[in-house]
Amino acid sequence: MSREAHVPFCEGLQGKVLRSTLLTMAEDACQIFKDHGAENLSCLRHIGLNMLRAEPTKLSIVGKQKRCMMNTSMLEAVLSAGLTTLDKK
């Protein structure tokens, strides 16, 4: 059996985004499926993930999420970092 036989389910940039939202935001556990609710929440998760990535603190995404839940100043820092990256584009 060859080592190259196993191929990851998702490859490339799209797969990285898909895996990261599944792992960090528990997208599979969401039970909203009526109309366009699942697509809308997926879009909001991606926006939140991009804002967390834009914040320059050397923490993991999960660590930043937990800090934002406990501390409003961290939440403000993440929101302002995410919005400033939108202004630059």
Judged by DSSP in three states, 23 sits in helix
Query: Phi and psi at residue 70, in whole multiples of 5°?
Result: -95, -25
Measured CA to CA, the distance from residue 47 to residue 17 in angstroms comes to 11
Least confident of 13-17, 25-29, 64-68, 84-88: 13-17
Q: Answer positive or negative: Cα dihedral of 22, 42, 37, 66.
A: positive
pLDDT digits (tens, 9 = 90+) for 17-67: 556 666 666 666 767 777 888 788 888 888 889 999 999 999 999 899 999
pTM for the complete prediction? Answer: 0.66
